[in-house]
Amino acid sequence: MFDMRALTGSLCLMLGLACPSLHAAETLVAVASNFTGAMQEIAAAFTGATGHRARLSFGSSGKFYAQIRNGAPFEIFFSADQVKPAALEREGLTVTGSRFTYAVGSLVLWSADPHTVDADGEVLRNNAFQRLSIANPRLAPYGAAAMQVLQYLGQEQATRHKRVQGENIAQAYQFVLSGNAELGFVAQSQIMRDGEIIRGSAWRVPQELHTAIRQDVVLLKQGKDSEAALALLQFMRTPAVHAILQRFGYRSPESAQSS
């Protein structure tokens, strides 16, 4: 009997096409909040290319780490750092060999006011502001990077009583957007598209002022037999995804090897 599905699959492989799956499935994915915009675009492209769906939950990497250890039914974990996926790996909660760096994040000092932040970040040294927003450095890699920058610039003590702390980078961004802080350290992906600031003013923090924000993804044990989960991890290595990462201000995974 003629098998059209087999023929279609063979053609996709032969021609290198990202053909939609004939058996569409869904995977439950935990995603660090800094990656929200990029991941939403990636998920849409993933569904268009494969037919599979990624059901996304966004939040702090620290909270997701705790939830996964307590049995949360996620199949894939996109962390904002390397530490938490590696810890889950050591604890036997991941599929061996599945972890890799999917993006390298960029930190910016940002204000919703177009005149507050100068191109060299001198506003920090001048200390002419009342509130500085950062993400919790114990839970959020972008917060830890922000503290490293303040230490490097000798501004840790000077800003101590001016800092307002968000649970994650999304909340740190909201503090600035709402006016509860004049400026704050946020992810470049939150305020830039195609190399341009969407609104406000920003200083792109030089990479050498903090540890590189390498972000790892890992396949969790609950996703080891999930067709959609496996397909999504493969899709993350495609040129389509690399183009999306660049648009949102992330460096490519290859950049992590030389940092």
Alpha helical stretches, state H, 93-180? 122-126, 141-152, 169-177
pTM of the model: 0.80
Average pLDDT of the chain, as a whole number:
89
Show the tokens assigned to 80: 């904002």
With pLDDT > 70 as the criterion, what percentage of the chain qualifies?
Answer: 89
Provide the β-strand partners of residue 166: 135
pLDDT of residue 5: 41
DSSP 125: H
**Per-residue pLDDT tens over the stretch 226-236:** 999 999 999 99
Whether residue 3 is predicted with pLDDT greater than 60 in this model: the reply is no
**Per-residue pLDDT tens over the stretch 75-101:** 999 999 999 999 999 999 999 999 999
Render the burial of 49-61: b for 16+ CB within 10 Å, e for the rest.
bbbbbbebebbbb
Indicate if the alpha-carbon torsion angle 81, 96, 225, 233 is positive or negative.
Answer: positive
> How far apart (Å, rounded) are the C-alpha atoms in residues 28 and 219?
11
Domains of the chain and any CATH numbers? 25-104+213-258 (3.40.190.10), 107-204 (3.40.190.10)
